[in-house]
């Protein structure tokens, strides 16, 4: 572990929507490190047809009250970004299908049998 980048973690939740983690920088002796900023990280889980999708996102806040008030909009942005990433991954997977050139399948195997078809890289 890097003693210069330690944090104390406090977890806050409403037990419905999500969790806010307050990451307070500390020195190696456990006292607060006032030279570094406190970080707030929101966490939520979204149900999708493929199962639950955990989301984690930074909350631009200096107090817990600010983090709570900014949780909803930040979670919505994280959901939208995750949806865009999933669509891009699907698009890339669909475009990576390799179809052999015409006649190439007949060159493989004996009597034109074997080879051919769709190949996934």
Q: Which residue has the higher pLDDT, 42 or 99?
A: 42
Which residue carries 């890097």 as its tokens? Answer: 2
Query: Rounded to whole angstroms, how far apart are CA atoms 3 and 19?
Result: 26
* pTM exceeds 0.75 for this model: no
Q: Which residue has the higher pLDDT, 101 or 63?
A: 63
For range 98-108, the mean pLDDT: 60
């Amino acid at each position: 572990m890097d003693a210069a980048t330690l944090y104390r973690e406090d977890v806050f939740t409403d037990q419905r929507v999500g969790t806010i983690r307050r990451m307070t920088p500390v020195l190696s002796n456990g006292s607060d490190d006032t030279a570094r900023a406190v970080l707030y990280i929101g966490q939520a889980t979204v149900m999708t047809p493929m199962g639950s999708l955990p989301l984690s996102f930074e909350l631009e806040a200096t107090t817990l009250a600010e983090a709570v008030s900014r949780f909803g909009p930040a979670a919505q942005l994280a959901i939208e970004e995750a949806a865009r990433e999933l669509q891009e991954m699907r698009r890339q997977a669909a475009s990576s299908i390799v179809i052999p050139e015409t006649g190439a399948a007949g060159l493989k195997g004996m009597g034109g049998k074997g080879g051919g078809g769709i190949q996934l890289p």
